[in-house]
């Protein structure tokens, strides 16, 4: 793996959905998430991180250094236990919190820094911990510092450029489950929610300082992150999500570790506007995307991908 990144970054992701539900809200019958005061659509950071994790898992297939910590069907304690085993503590997952504290204290009395060994192991082996960080307190219940790792990459919620109008679509089901069902009606009725079209904007941050001090997030990891963002919907197709695509990734690179300008100044240079003759957007071409590179502060380089 290459050295930790030395430059701070901010980035803007533009993605759209056509006849799909980009992020259902379980508290609202799985309707697309909406800001109730403005009508703008929302997609959570958790949803987008899941797509990035899924891409890395598909592309790397558990290659050394690129495993995924937060994944379906794998207990967190199983992965946590590997970190403690690396630090010389066996069967940590089976211990009670107080027993684990005593085992850690015994190792520390022997001159072993368990906190750092566990953190180093988890960061070295799991891409998503090295990238997003993690709260690993399922075993230690907050008793050990090694339970929390702050990641250098953070995402905000995505918000649609225009208010969205979710539609409820009635669907039919002809498949039957039991013989008793066969004696009833031949079809059943159901519902699904879609957004006819919406363009979303998400903003993100990459801290070189946290990469160097905490997780070791590297230049190779950064390249993989950009690739994962650009392709996060390509290997995650679903009838429920319709047609989704990342249209553009706009990256701002600082010439230093701590940065040359506030993030908001960079984000303000990116404008996304519906074209004047478009009433109801139904395609990415209905919008104009511009970056005012002349307004970028000194020490900032802008790269557009997509």
pTM assigned to the model: 0.91
Is 262 within the bounds of a domain? yes
224 in Cβ contact with 2 (< 8 Å): no
Is 171 within the bounds of a domain? no
Q: Taking the chain, what is the end-to-end CA distance rounded to the nearest angstrom?
A: 26
Please tell me the predicted confidence (pLDDT) of residue 134.
92
Decide which of 172 and 160 is more confident: 160
Is 78 within the bounds of a domain? yes
- What rounded mean pLDDT belongs to the chain? 91
Decide which of 17 and 29 is more confident: 17
Please tell me the predicted confidence (pLDDT) of residue 301.
98
Query: What share of the chain in percent tops pLDDT 70?
Result: 93
Give the tens place of pLDDT for each residue, 108-161. Answer: 888 888 888 889 999 999 999 999 999 876 555 545 555 689 999 999 999 999
pLDDT of 179 > 80? The answer is: no
Please tell me the predicted confidence (pLDDT) of residue 104.
82
Instruction: Place 217 in a pLDDT band, splitting at 50, 70 and 90.
Output: very high
Give the tens place of pLDDT for each residue, 96-107. Answer: 777 888 888 888
Is 280 within the bounds of a domain? yes
List the structure tokens of 122.
């988890």
Distance (Å, whole) CA 99 – CA 92:
9
Mean pLDDT of 13-37: 95
How many domains is the chain partitioned into structurally? 1
Structural domain boundaries enclosing 67 = 9-164+193-305
Please tell me the predicted confidence (pLDDT) of residue 90.
85
Please tell me the predicted confidence (pLDDT) of residue 74.
82
Is 186 within the bounds of a domain? no
CB contact set of 85 (below 8 Å; sequence gap of 6+): 92
Give the tens place of pLDDT for each residue, 63-99. Answer: 999 999 998 888 887 888 888 888 888 888 778 777 8
Is 184 within the bounds of a domain? no
CB contact set of 206 (below 8 Å; sequence gap of 6+): 5, 8, 9, 10, 11, 152, 153, 217, 222, 225
Is 172 within the bounds of a domain? no
Decide which of 288 and 172 is more confident: 288
């Amino acid at each position: 793996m290459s050295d930790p990144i030395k430059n701070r970054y901010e980035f803007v992701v533009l993605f759209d959905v056509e006849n799909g539900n980009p992020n259902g809200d379980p508290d609202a019958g799985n309707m697309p998430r909406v800001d109730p005061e403005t009508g703008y659509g929302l997609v959570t950071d958790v949803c987008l991180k899941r797509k990035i994790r899924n891409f890395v898992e598909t592309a790397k297939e558990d290659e050394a250094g690129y495993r995924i910590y937060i994944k379906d069907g794998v207990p967190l304690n199983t992965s946590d236990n590997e970190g403690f085993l690396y630090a010389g503590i066996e069967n940590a997952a089976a211990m009670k919190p107080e027993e684990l504290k005593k085992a850690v204290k015994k190792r520390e009395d022997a001159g072993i820094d368990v906190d750092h060994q566990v953190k180093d192991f988890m960061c070295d082996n799991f891409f998503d911990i090295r990238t997003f960080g993690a709260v690993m307190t399922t075993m230690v219940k907050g008793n050990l510092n090694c339970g929390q790792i702050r990641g250098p990459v953070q995402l905000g919620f995505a918000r649609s450029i225009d208010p969205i109008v979710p539609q409820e679509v009635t669907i039919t089901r002809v498949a039957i489950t039991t013989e008793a069902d066969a004696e009833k009606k031949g079809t059943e009725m159901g519902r699904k929610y879609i957004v006819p079209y919406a363009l979303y904007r998400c903003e993100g941050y990459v801290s070189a300082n946290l990469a160097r001090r905490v997780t070791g997030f590297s230049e190779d990891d950064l390249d993989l992150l950009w690739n994962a963002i650009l392709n996060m919907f390509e290997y995650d197709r679903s009838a429920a999500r319709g047609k989704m695509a990342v249209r553009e990734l706009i990256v701002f690179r600082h010439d230093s570790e701590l940065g040359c300008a506030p993030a908001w100044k960079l984000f303000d240079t990116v404008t996304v506007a519906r074209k004047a003759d478009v009433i109801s957007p139904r395609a990415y071409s209905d919008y104009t995307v511009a970056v005012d590179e002349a307004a970028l502060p000194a020490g900032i380089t802008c790269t557009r991908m997509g």
